[in-house]
Amino acid sequence: MLGSQVKRLLTGVSDHGRQHLLEVETDLVQTAFLLGEAVEKLGSSFFALHAAVSAQQNEVEILLAGIDSDDPKMLRLRVLRDEISQHTNEAVTGLQFQDLTSQLLARTVQRIIGLRNVLSDLAVDGGGLPVEGQEDEIVNMLYAINKNLDVQSNGLKDLLRKAVHQKDMDSGDIEMF
């Protein structure tokens, strides 16, 4: 009786867990795709905008040729050029966060797939429990299942080393050797 209930519990945990994890995985893959598409479009628009602004700047400089460099209009133009350059740098830095977030999402998806496999094995291991077995026999098998779970979970942890540690929008450190 106990064996039958434990078996049912393990199968239930495995089935429900895998079903929910599959949903999470699907959502994350969709999120990564949409994020990638959105940033690609943003990037293309940004480059087009930058090219247009640069061309406009050149035209303005041609129009203002001959005007004294200390003229307030020229000074204002220089300030605007510096502002554009600063915003461009910030946009290029910001657009790179898609690469970082996609790495984090990929790692999460890999973990979910690994976790699904762990749950799948849990159901297989649980299937071996004797329905009418003695308590000692069931306890020994549960001990073996637990041990296998630990091994698989630790294996997954080792496999998924974290490579992205950034927590703010600043650019990264530079170190010359």
Partner 1 sequence: MEKTILAVDDSGSLRQMLSFSLKAAGYHVIEAVDGQDGLDKAKLQVVDLVLTDQNMPRMDGLSLIKALRAMPSYQKVPILMLTTESGDEMKSRGRAAGANGWLVKPFDPQKLTEVVKKVIG
* Footprint of partner 1 (CB under 8 A): 36, 39-40, 43, 47, 50, 88-89, 92-100, 102-103, 163-166, 171-177
Residue whose entry in the numeric block shows the structure tokens 């950034």: 166
Beta carbon of residue 139, minimum distance to partner 1 (angstroms, whole number): 42
Beta carbon of residue 113, minimum distance to partner 1 (angstroms, whole number): 17
Q: Pick the closer one to partner 1 by CB: 47 or 143.
A: 47
CA distances from 45 to 37, 51, 86, 167 (A): 12, 10, 18, 27
Beta carbon of residue 174, minimum distance to partner 1 (angstroms, whole number): 5
Give me the DSSP letters along 102-171: HHHHHHHHHHHHHHHHHHHHHHHHHHTS-TT--HHHHHHHHHHHHHHHHHHHHHHHHHS-------SSSP
Beta carbon of residue 55, minimum distance to partner 1 (angstroms, whole number): 14
Q: Pick the closer one to partner 1 by CB: 62 or 174.
A: 174
- Token output for 54: 């640069």
Q: Pick the closer one to partner 1 by CB: 13 or 160.
A: 160
Q: Pick the closer one to partner 1 by CB: 17 or 36.
A: 36
Residue type (1 letter), 10: L
Beta carbon of residue 166, minimum distance to partner 1 (angstroms, whole number): 7
The answer to whether the beta carbons of residues 138 and 1 sit under 8 Å apart is no
Q: What angle do CA 128, 131, 137 make, to 5 degrees?
A: 70
Q: Pick the closer one to partner 1 by CB: 155 or 172.
A: 172
